[in-house]
Structure 1
Amino acid sequence: MPVRQLRRRVLGTSTAATALAVSALIITAPHAAAEPVDFGKGSDKKETGGSNETGIYAAARIQYSGAVAKGGGTGNVTSSDVNWTPPPCWYAPYLGAKDFKKEMSKHIDSQLNAPGMGGTAGAAIGETQRHYEDGYGWSGSPGYKDYNVENDGKGMFWAGVENPDETDYLKRSSCTDLPFWVENGDAPPPQYEEAISPEILAALAYQHMQLPDTKVTLAPEATTKVNLPTWAWLDKAVFDEVQATAALNVPGFNIQATTTAKPVSLKLEPGTKDAVTYPASGECVINADDSIGEPYAKGKADETPPCGVRYLRSSGDGTYKLRATVTWEITWTGTGSPNPTKLPNGTFGNDQAITVQEIQAVNR
């Protein structure tokens, strides 16, 4: 998913002063603080349109359902592809024309009247004012005469929204194009690559997905002996696929995506070099019945487990940390995309303390 690291030069100039002036006007809305607004025609009431004392927020709040992390955190799943990350920001429906005029004009006035706001920076803010008040366009972007108030109720201005779970500030605040108008029922202009879409929603559902703890069943359990094979398995009854859905629903623009994670393999890491895994790679594949490994049963003491570990040295007074990591195959479906589409595999693992004892023998 492309992530632009630099602001688009909306004024067609490369001066630093202009870029700083424009960035002061761009409204990037923290997603976590997003509140509902009047989606229809603008209201004359004070502080409508989702504004408060600290700023103005995007109208479109993404709703999560299914197996999602409590509190909207990042969830447990981690992408196995280090080059893939959920979107740090996106563009979403923001305000109707009347509400946008109220908030944006107030914002522009405060910048124009700020001490020291002159020269190129002041001129840039003046250009932005002309863009929304006089219909002045630039760089292929149309202007909006009187903030497009004549079309109030027929569409919404879209603005940048930060992903609160993105820790990199520069990435989180990189959706800095000036708010733009989208008619109800229309897709946003194609140049806005980060405009909210089913694909972006699928990535956000991925980020919020809560997976079950990867605690494998062991035999012997917790305490084993040197050179004694320990069997490991995951039962299908308690370990099945997980789904999470992210949806955005505002008048004229309704999309959703469901991300599905299905376990495909289990990797065992004994926590010491003095151990042998079964199979040798430590990767236990999923069985035909969607279970992983095989439960130990009486009479199998002399058999090699299809999934397990054999420790070669005692843990002494301590324990070894056996790490069990499940790889999940992740796909998504959504609005306009009914067929499953691949996302990078995800992983999630747990550590289990294993005590390994020497086998005591008595010589007579």
Structure 2
Amino acid sequence: MRFTWIQNTIIQASARRAGATLAALALIACAWLPGTASAQGVLMGSADLDGDSVAETVYNNGAYITVRSSNGSSYNYQVSSGSWALLYGNFTSVQDLDGTPGAEIPINIGGALKVINHNSRSSYNYQISTGSWAASPNGITDLNGVAGNEIVIVASDSLRIVDHRARSTSSQPMSGTYAIAVYGIRDLDGQPGAEIPIANGSALRVYNYRTRSMSSTPVSGGSWAICNDPGIPNCVSDLNGTAGAELILIQPNYISVYSYVTGSMSNYAINTQYAILSDGVRQFDGTTGNEIAVARGDGNINIIYPRTGNVQFINGSNTFNAGRWWSLLNYVNLDGAAGDEIRVRDNGYGRNYRIYPRTGSVTAE
């Protein structure tokens, strides 16, 4: 059987052990970026920084950054005499951070974050931590529904948000083992701005920056993880047909679906080793809200319907799992009815089959 397994162990950062990991991230982040050398310095990238719809070019000149306009004029910004780097270590972090025309340049300068506003020819420093810290991947995004992205920062003892529009920082203390579901920073409540899901030991926590609130929901003992695999892009998506995305929790022998809007946790038993199919959170029944296709360790398939609370069992015996070794081919919609079919290959006998979730039937191609 060949598909991407999601391990039933949480991908996590320990607040007590995060120092070493964050230190490694900081060392990577603080390396000066390679690029094309010129008289202005080492090229870092280009973006519209002053809101005139024309890109400026940004150069690394050691202790300062040079921004060069298309008309040939340039402006220097003092950065740091020590190590520094763009957040994420690359130019993707240069984004609109204050809601005014032009992108800003966020820089890790050690214990602080510096943001360069070329539009106003100014810069601002935000004290972050005397220890190691890093911007969360996918964490430069709109958290409050107001123009301009906020920056989600992970420090060893807290979750921090830099709101450059408001020229402010906030800190949410964290303890124990915790990790942000980085691809799960999405709109979970149907209101403007994204929420931040966090695996925190035996609790699922969600931080809402718009309301400055942290929810906490107990999760049963044992290993678990928030599904936020980039190979399953809809892992955090609408699963019940109402506004706001739901979270899928991977647990031994069952899957849980959490609704931040209602605070409810629904459990769906699988009772065997399993994996969500690659890109397998999608529309199978043609109604609002995605379903979850799960490959079972016994060679069969479950499809979970969170909108109705049902779990469908698709028996592959004598068809796609006759040889107990099958692989996912793709998803298609060839029957004219809303909702996808699943194409799989029985590798033992070399035959392709099509699964129809609406009816639960399996046919050979």
Identify whether the pair has TM-score above 0.5, normalized to the shorter chain: no
Structure with larger Rg: 1
> Counting strand residues as a fraction of each chain, which structure ranks higher?
2
TM-score bracket for this pair, using the shorter chain length = under 0.3
> Counting helix residues as a fraction of each chain, which structure ranks higher?
1
Give the TM-score normalised by structure 2. Answer: 0.22
Q: Higher relative contact order at CA 8 Å, sep ≥6: structure 1 or structure 2? A: 1
